[in-house]
Amino acid sequence: MKTLDDLLGEGVSGRRVFVRADLNVPFDKANPGVISDDGRARAVLPTLIALRDAGARVIVASHLGRPKGAPDPAFTLAPVAARLGELLGSSVVFAEDTVGASASAAVEALEDGQVLLLENLRFNKGETSKDDAERGAFADELAKFADFYVDDAFGAVHRKHASVYDVPARLPHYAGGLVLKEVEVLKKVSESPEQPYVVVLGGSKVSDKLAVIQALLPKVDKLLVGGGMCFTFLKAQGHEVGKSLLEAEMISVCADLLEQADGRIVLPVDVVAATEFSADAEHDVVDVSDIPADRLGLDIGPKSTALFAEAVAGAKTVFWNGPMGVFELAPFAAGTRGVAEAITKIDGFSVVGGGDSAAAVRTLGLDETAFGHISTGGGASLEYLEGKTLPGVAALEK
């Protein structure tokens, strides 16, 4: 696939470049409009700065959240435009629609070295439509704005959406540095990981991670399971899990995986069990064989954290996706922090698989540079490791 460097070598001064970015940033629930983690915005800065400094007229597009194909003030990108301007050190023009009058006027008025952010792509039904014609019609409108297309939104490349899959078919297209780096890293951990290879999985549901577990299990030395998903595995071992998160339909699947793993799946031995899902809830550390019927596990316990840290310590490759507990609530953050800190200390290559794991690194104040790579795309990372074709990557390879 052609790269951003190839495009810059061709010359972009005075040319309009459409950049598909991933600015799907989280907001502070207590303070609407305040971005709680700008990691994804910072990740695309090198591409935007390179194009801006080369004199391109940069048109940035992204989705935010899951609006229903129509404008919704709760999902406007206006606060993101303001933050992006702060990060770039120069104002970012904001269009109040995606392909309407505001966007058209803003594109027409763009000057060399200016950056424009379009309103949320998902305010248009065509962006996510499963109908090729409807999606294509929206892609036609977007493509009219630009001379070139750059995809630097790895967090969206697993979606067959207009701005990801159809627009590059209509314009000369290039992969941004972020997409190239992500593919390079994930190819390394999926095809040629240096052993010992340890995978750490957390998050809520086994069903969300089943395919990646099945894909990775033959390749790993240890697979450590924490987060809400561990309780279905513990139930499969015969433990009672109280009011903890449980996917009853997955118990037999977990039992089969444990049998196939032959000891390579490592589960918590203790958990932090609380009376309710709240930072103020009464909570205690209990062994997994003694979880009270009226409590739910919200973090792995200290023995489990030490067990996981020990398993990670000798690894040459670690892939981590999913927190060990509800790290957003202080009483239930220790497991995620302890395992993350252990990963930073390995004498090898570590990958944080995006999503909540990347957010945890920043929320807990951990040193981002201590990890080999922090992905910007949780779902895309997992689908790549499952062996799926990513539509956005496939589009860039054509």
What are the DSSP calls for 149-188, one per residue? Answer: EEE--GGGTTS--IIIIIGGGTS-EEE-HHHHHHHHHHHH
pLDDT at 54: 98
CA–CA separation, 51 vs 331, rounded Å? 44
Picking from 128, 146, 177, the residue at the C-terminal end of a domain is: 177
- The pLDDT, as a whole number, for residue 28 is 85
On whether both 165 and 213 belong to a single domain, the answer is no
- Tell me whether strands 283-287 and 270-274 are parallel, antiparallel or unpaired: antiparallel
Please say whether the beta carbons of 92 and 145 come within 8 A: no
Q: Are residues 221 and 154 in the same domain?
A: no
Residue 210 lies in a domain: yes
Q: Looking at the structure, do residues 257 and 156 belong to the same domain, yes or no?
A: no
Q: What is the pLDDT of residue 79?
A: 96
Residue by residue, pLDDT tens for the chain (398 residues) are 999 999 999 999 999 999 999 999 988 888 878 998 898 899 999 999 999 999 999 999 999 999 999 999 999 999 999 999 999 999 999 999 999 999 999 999 999 999 999 999 999 999 999 999 999 999 999 999 999 999 999 999 999 999 999 999 999 999 999 999 999 999 999 888 999 999 999 988 999 999 999 999 999 999 999 999 999 999 999 999 999 999 999 999 999 999 999 999 999 999 999 999 999 999 999 999 999 999 999 999 999 999 999 999 999 999 999 999 999 999 999 999 999 999 999 999 999 987 788 888 988 989 989 999 998 888 898 899 988 999 999 999 99
For residue 53, say whether it is annotated as part of any ligand binding site: no
Q: Is 112 annotated as a binding residue?
A: no
pLDDT at 39: 86
Residue 203 labelled as part of a binding site = no
pLDDT value for 12? 98
23 assigned binding-site residue:
yes
Q: Please pick, among 170, 181, 205, 362, the residue that the annotation labels catalytic.
A: 205
Q: Are residues 28 and 159 in the same domain?
A: yes
- pLDDT for position 111: 97
Indicate the SS3 state at residue 201: strand
Residue 398: inside a domain, yes or no?
no
Contact, 327 vs 204, CB < 8 A? no
| 379 counts as catalytic | yes
Residues 247 and 150 in one domain: no
What token pair was written down for 374? Answer: 């922090």
Is 316 a member of any domain?
yes
Domain stops at, among 145, 161, 177 = 177
User: Any binding-site annotation on 85?
Assistant: no
Measured between alpha carbons, how far is 381 from 164 in angstroms, rounded to an integer?
Answer: 16
198 and 140: one domain?
no
Residue 330's pLDDT is what? 94
- Is 190 found in the same domain as 169? no
Is 365 part of the annotated catalytic residue set?
no
122 marked as part of a ligand binding site: yes
Which is catalytic among the residues 15, 20, 40, 222?
Answer: 40
Q: Would the annotation count 239 as a binding residue?
A: no
First to last CA, the chain: 7
Q: Please tell me the predicted confidence (pLDDT) of residue 32.
A: 79
* Residue 100 lies inside a defined structural domain of this protein: yes
Residues 97 and 228 in one domain: no
Run of H or E including 350: strand 349-352
Residues 155 and 254 in one domain: no
Question: Is residue 366 a part of any domain in this protein?
Answer: yes
d(CA 64, CA 116): 16
Distances (CA, A) of 365 to 34, 96, 170, 173, 222: 18, 34, 42, 37, 27
103/251 same-domain check: no
Whether 40 is catalytic is: yes
Within 10 angstroms of residue 160's Cβ, the number of other Cβ atoms is: 18
Residue 77 lies in a domain: yes
pLDDT of residue 269: 98
pLDDT score of 51: 98
- Residue 393 placed within a domain: no
Q: Is 20 annotated as a binding residue?
A: no
> Domain end: 141, 158, 177, which one?
177
* Rounded-to-integer distance, Cα 277 and Cα 283, Å: 10
The structural domain count of the chain equals 2
Considering the domain architecture, whether residues 172 and 207 belong to the same structural domain is answered as no
In terms of residue numbers, what domain contains 347?
185-386
210 and 349 both lie in a single domain: yes
Q: Which of 55, 69, 100, 379 is catalytic?
A: 379
What CATH number is given to the structural domain containing 152? 3.40.50.1260
- Catalytic entry in 355, 377, 378, 392: 355
Q: Is residue 395 part of a domain?
A: no
Helical ranges in 24-176 per DSSP H: 39-43, 45-53, 78-88, 101-109, 125-128, 132-143
